[in-house]
């Protein structure tokens, strides 16, 4: 059974860089079948796709975040990461990592990690 889990600081100061990792268990990200994604949800709001990375390192982003977001593969075959630069209070959200399947839907999600941007 595939499981994903987000990790990282729960509090980030404005103007700093938010850095999160996603650890995948029960599977590997080193294969062509899946895209590995970051999605966020501001308190009381809807879901916002941030971007994804493919096993070969190619990454794609939501145009609204493209200038600040960066998704990378980890040093192991079971991790990938998100960096979001120059954060503001508007970046306060629950951040999810999720696997996107060949059937065009997210089939596995992490439980989510609340990140608060505050001084």
Partner 1 sequence: EIVLTQFPDTLSVSPGGSATLSCRASQWIASSYLVWYQQKPGQAPRLVMYSTSNRAIGIPDRFSGSGSGTQFTLTISRLEPEDLAVYYCQQYGTSSLSFGGGTKVEIE
By CB under 8 A, name the binding residues for partner 1.
Answer: 37, 46-49, 52, 60, 62-63, 96, 98, 100, 103-107, 109-112
Distances (CA, A) of 61 to 1, 2, 27, 68: 28, 24, 24, 10
Q: Which is nearer to partner 1, 76 or 101 (CB)?
A: 101
Q: Which is nearer to partner 1, 27 or 77 (CB)?
A: 27
Q: Which is nearer to partner 1, 71 or 110 (CB)?
A: 110
Q: How far is the CB of 117 from partner 1 (least distance, A)?
A: 21
Q: How far is the CB of 100 from partner 1 (least distance, A)?
A: 7
| Residues 40, 50, 47, 63, CA torsion sign | positive
Q: How many Å apart are CA 75 and CA 53, to the nearest integer? A: 14
Q: How far is the CB of 59 from partner 1 (least distance, A)?
A: 10
**Strand runs (DSSP E) across the chain, as ranges?**
3-7, 11-12, 18-25, 35-41, 47-53, 59-61, 69-73, 79-84, 93-100, 106-109, 113-117
Q: Which is nearer to partner 1, 46 or 57 (CB)?
A: 46
Q: How far is the CB of 112 from partner 1 (least distance, A)?
A: 6
């Amino acid at each position: 059974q595939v499981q994903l889990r987000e990790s990282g600081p729960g509090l980030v100061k404005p103007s700093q860089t938010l850095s999160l990792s996603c650890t995948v268990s029960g599977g590997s990200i080193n294969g062509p079948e899946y895209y590995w994604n970051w999605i966020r949800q501001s308190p009381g709001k809807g879901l916002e796709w941030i971007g994804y990375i493919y096993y070969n390192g190619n990454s794609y982003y939501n145009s609204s975040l493209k200038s600040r977001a960066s998704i990378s593969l980890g040093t192991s075959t079971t991790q990938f990461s998100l960096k979001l630069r120059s954060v503001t209070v508007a970046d306060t959200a629950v951040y999810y990592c999720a696997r996107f399947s060949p059937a065009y839907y997210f089939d596995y999600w992490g439980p989510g990690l609340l990140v608060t941007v505050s001084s």
